[in-house]
């Protein structure tokens, strides 16, 4: 497994690497890295922090390096995984979520019969963690649109909600089934992804650092707290694949949908009934689709096209993870509709 990722035990071999800039650390690593910082207690407990599973999401990575540079030790073994180093250092810094010849590094955990280096790497990391007494795990990410800081909770239980509340005020319940690292660890310990808003921003890195600090300083996660704002995923809104579209600008012979720019500012807030999501040529059918988590079509419940070509929402909805680019919309979806849980 030595060639799948670099393995560090303690700070001895890390120190020289950590003295470099964040970018040069990536250059020195050249591949994923799994670091174990042995605990100051002899109690065999462990926590996991992962970052950079998406190569363009720098905030968690920078926060993790800052923590490691301080040489911190904890009353538990701390396992740190730094994921898609190749994507993060290809064609500039933090420019790619993953490369064209790669899969998404947060979709390869716990798959049977690993066929690729990335999948084998994921398996080998899980193997190393198998022998540990895991107490909790967090995975640091950024969003592609404007969002408040929040956690993604794959498996709600009171310890997991306490962990979520420790890290951020807002949490989103999401039965992913997407082979993410946190999903894979969640049967073993409380595990959440921490979403640190937009990448390449000082405020995002500062939040990542503070969430990480709270995670590492928490004595336990069994004191039953809930995030102040708790949402669950309900529907997914996509642009029909045949429809050429843009964010902002005007309709042309080549563009059949203009989406209203800036709607990501409403993430985890409210889009009131009547809010315009975009414009189409009058007479064209709805270019957006709304699908429930079980695959049921709910387009007519939430959206309509007015005679003048305005596409509007027909009831008040809370959007989440609204994106701002065509590529991201095509890759996943335009946004999700979430519902507040009491």
Q: Which residues bind Zn ion (CB under 5 A)?
A: 54, 57, 141
Q: How far is the CB of 292 from Zn ion (least distance, A)?
A: 24
Q: Which is nearer to Zn ion, 83 or 190 (CB)?
A: 83
Q: Smallest distance from the beta carbon of 170 to Zn ion, in angstroms?
A: 17
> Positive or negative, the Cα torsion across 244, 249, 253, 256?
positive
CA angle (104 as vertex; 102, 109 as ends), nearest 5 = 110
Residue 83 Cβ, how far from Zn ion at the closest point, in Å?
A: 10
Quick one: 146 or 275, whose CB is closer to Zn ion?
Answer: 146
Using the minimum distance from each CB to Zn ion, give the nearer residue, 190 or 199.
199
Closer to Zn ion by CB, 197 or 318: give it.
197
CB of 204 to Zn ion, least distance (A): 12
In the bound state with Zn ion, the residue whose beta carbon lies nearer, of 245 and 268, is 268
Q: How far is the CB of 159 from Zn ion (least distance, A)?
A: 23
Strands 257-259, 229-239: pairing kind: unpaired
Token pair 């290809």: residue: 90
* SS3 annotation, 57-73: CHHHHHHHHHHHHCCCC
Taking the complex as a whole, how short is the minimal distance between the CB of residue 52 and Zn ion, in angstroms?
9
81 class by beta-carbon count within 10 Å (0-12 exposed, 13-18 middle, 19+ buried) = buried
The string of DSSP letters for 1-31 reads -TTTSEEEESSTTTHHHHTS-HHHHHHHH-S
Q: Shortest CA distance to 235 belongs to which of 274, 276, 280, 293?
A: 293
Nearer to Zn ion, 57 or 289 (CB): 57
CB of residue 57 vs Zn ion: minimum separation in angstroms?
5
* 249 torsion bin: left (phi>0), alpha (psi -120 to 50), beta (else): left
Helix, strand, coil abundance in the chain, percent, nearest 5: 25, 25, 50
- Smaller CB distance to Zn ion: residue 57 or 77? 57
Q: What whole-number distance in Å separates Cα of residue 289 and Cα of residue 204? A: 32
């Amino acid at each position: 497994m030595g060639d799948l990722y670099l393995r560090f035990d303690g700070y001895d071999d890390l120190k020289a690497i950590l003295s470099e800039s964040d970018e040069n650390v990536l250059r020195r690593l050249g591949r994923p890295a799994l670091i174990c910082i042995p605990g100051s207690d002899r109690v065999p407990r462990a926590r996991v922090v992962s970052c950079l599973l998406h190569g363009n999401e720098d905030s968690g990575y920078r926060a993790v390096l800052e923590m490691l540079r301080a040489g911190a030790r904890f009353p538990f073994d701390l396992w740190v995984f730094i994921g898609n180093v190749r994507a993060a250092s290809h064609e500039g810094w933090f420019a790619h979520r993953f490369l064209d010849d790669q899969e998404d590094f947060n979709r390869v955990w716990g798959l049977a019969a690993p066929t690729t280096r990335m999948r084998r790497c994921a398996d080998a990391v899980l193997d190393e963690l198998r022998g540990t007494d895991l107490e909790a795990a967090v995975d640091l990410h950024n969003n592609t649109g404007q969002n408040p800081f929040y956690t993604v909770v794959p498996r709600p239980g009171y310890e997991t909600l306490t962990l979520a509340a420790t890290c951020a005020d807002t949490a989103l319940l999401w039965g992913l089934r997407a082979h993410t690292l946190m999903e894979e660890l969640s049967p073993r310990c409380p595990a959440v992804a921490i979403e640190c808003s937009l990448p390449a921003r000082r405020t995002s890195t500062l939040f990542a650092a503070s969430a990480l600090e709270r995670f590492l300083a928490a004595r336990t996660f069994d004191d039953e707290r809930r995030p102040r704002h708790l949402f669950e995923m309900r529907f997914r809104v996509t642009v029909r694949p045949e429809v050429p579209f843009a964010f902002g600008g005007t309709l042309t012979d080549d563009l059949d949908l203009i989406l209203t720019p800036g709607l990501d500012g409403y993430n985890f807030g409210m889009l009131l009934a009547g809010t315009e999501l975009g414009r189409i040529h009058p007479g064209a059918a709805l270019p957006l689709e709304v699908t429930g988590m079980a695959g049921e079509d709910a387009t007519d419940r939430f959206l309509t096209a007015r005679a003048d070509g305005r596409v509007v929402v027909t009831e008040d909805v809370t959007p989440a993870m609204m994106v701002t680019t065509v590529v991201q919309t095509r890759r996943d979806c335009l946004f999700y509709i979430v519902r507040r849980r009491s």
